[in-house]
Amino acid sequence: MSRIAERFARLKADKRAGLVTYVTAGDPNADVGYQILKGLPGAGADLIELGMPFTDPMADGPSIQLAGQRALKSGITVDATFDMVRRFRKETGDNATPILLMGYYNLVYQRGAERFCKEAAAAGVDGMILVDLPPEEADELKPFAAANGLDTVLLTAPTTDDGRLPAVLKYSSGFVYFVSVLGITGTKSATEEAVRTHVERIKRHTPLPVGVGFGIKTPDQAAAVARHADAAVVGSAIVDRVKAGLDDAGKPRSDLVPGVFAYVKALADGVRGVRKG
């Protein structure tokens, strides 16, 4: 069983939903970015999405765009991202928290999908979420991901109707990521009713866990999602805490990392306060 499947099985046994936290690798720099990554499970993250910064993040709002720019400016590369994951597994001894790489396909394509998957898996990565690789193009990646034991988490959206869902699910493993609003990351928020309806609809098609993201900013919103989904995904709002911890010159202040963890803990408390099943 993959780390992702094990983690969701564990969450189910604990009768609660999970918290998936997104941070951009190397934001605001490699050192502080690693400190954040390292401390996320302790702060309450059940799964981690590690963003690979890209110059042209077409599906992201201003928060994650800026995070990517900070990381790229600090010189982060794909190799550095792999190193960070490797170091996390080695130094923390955490072999249970799944780490998924999230980003845009060109970085994978340039390295070659086969080599990328091999290196990612060797570093301790568990899965990939590629925003611009819909099922129509996913066969470029899926065989190599599968051969290396990497889950591929595809996105579903409110526009993904029942006719189309099976195509998305065909390439999905680990969990299904439901993008709860029409739009880019970190902008609009869905109503609890809309989340419930869509999660129920997706679950009619698949036994996979459903994670819901986009627009979750508060512990209350995270709790509302946790009532219906198997996991709540929070990204932009966490990344905003990184930005809030920078001084006027863009240098990280000493309260940056604790500020991120305090916020993640509040989200985790929100999610864990919901008893399931």
Partner 1 sequence: MPTTTLNSFRTGPDERGHFGLFGGRYVAETLMPLILELEKAYNEAKADPQFQGELSYLLTQYAGRPSPLYYAERLTKHLGGAKVYFKRDELNHTGSHKINNVLGQVLLAKRMGKTRVIAETGAGQHGVATATACALFDIPCVVFMGAVDVDRQAPNVFRMKMLGAEVRPVKAGSATLKDAMNEALRDWVATCETTFYCIGTVAGPHPYPAMVRDFQCVIGNEVRKQLVEMEGRLPDTLVACIGGGSNAMGLFHPFLDDKGVRIIGVEAGGKGVDTGEHAASLTGGRPGVLHGNRTYLLQDAEGQIQEAHSISAGLDYPGIGPEHSWLKEQGRVEYVSATDNEALEAFQLLCRLEGIIPALEPAHALAHVTKLAPTLPKDNLLVMNLCGRGDKDVFAVAERLGVKI
Q: Which residues contact partner 1 (rule: CB under 8 A)? A: 54-61, 65, 72, 77-78, 104-107, 109-111, 131-137, 154-161, 164, 168, 179, 181-184, 187-188
DSSP class of residue 114 equals H
Token pair of 212, please?
Answer: 């819901």
Task: Tell me the sheet residues that pair with 100.
Answer: 49, 127
Helices (H), the chain: 3-13, 30-43, 62-73, 78-92, 105-111, 113-123, 142-147, 165-170, 192-203, 219-226, 236-244, 256-272
Gap between the Cα atoms of 23 and 25, Å rounded:
6
Least distance to partner 1, CB of residue 231, Å = 18
Gap between the Cα atoms of 72 and 51, Å rounded:
12
Least distance to partner 1, CB of residue 38, Å = 24
Gap between the Cα atoms of 256 and 75, Å rounded:
20
Token pair of 209, please?
Answer: 């866990």
Known active-site residue 200: no
Tell me whether residue 18 or residue 215 sits nearer to partner 1 (CB atom).
215
Give CA angle at 63 (181, 185), nearest 5°. Answer: 15
Tell me whether residue 43 or residue 216 sits nearer to partner 1 (CB atom).
216
CB atoms within 10 A of CB 181: 18
Using the structure block, give the residue that is written with the tokens 């094990």: 6
Known active-site residue 49: yes
Token pair of 103, please?
Answer: 């980003």
Tell me whether residue 167 or residue 274 sits nearer to partner 1 (CB atom).
167
Tell me whether residue 179 or residue 268 sits nearer to partner 1 (CB atom).
179
Token pair of 130, please?
Answer: 């590629």
Tell me whether residue 91 or residue 161 sits nearer to partner 1 (CB atom).
161
> Choosing from 27, 46, 49, 151, which is the catalytic residue?
49
> Choosing from 46, 60, 126, 151, which is the catalytic residue?
60
Active site residues: 49, 60
